[in-house]
Amino acid sequence: MVEVKGTYNVWIPSSFTPNFDKLDDVFIPVFSPFGIDTKYYEFTIFNRWGALLFNTNNINVGWDGTFKGEPVIEGVYVFTLKFKDADGMSYTKIGHVTLLR
């Protein structure tokens, strides 16, 4: 018997524009439809001073460019993304995103 497993793939945008035009209004990693364990997921956004602006454990929720309901300024923000694939391997990705208004 041959077992074929799908492998995951993730694409993380380098910028987004939360200006309510319904194009790139939310910063969210995009995963392939298979290969991810959605029960283990954490997506976090920090400002340049390390203050936590956003955190979610829901793979379908992204950051809308606000903090406590108020829009943040245009600039570069740091993200961390932690998840597991379907085989239980853990991954951590750290990077930055540019918010443009």
101 residues of the chain, pLDDT tens digit each: 766 566 678 999 999 999 989 889 999 999 988 788 889 999 999 999 999 999 999 999 999 999 999 999 999 999 999 999 888 899 999 999 999 98
**Burial readout 33-47 (b: 16 or more C-beta within 10 A, e: otherwise):** eeebbeeebebbbbe
pTM score of the predicted model: 0.88
CA pair distance 93, 68, nearest whole angstrom: 25
User: What does the pLDDT read at residue 94?
Assistant: 97
Which architecture does CATH list for 10-99? Answer: Sandwich (2.60)
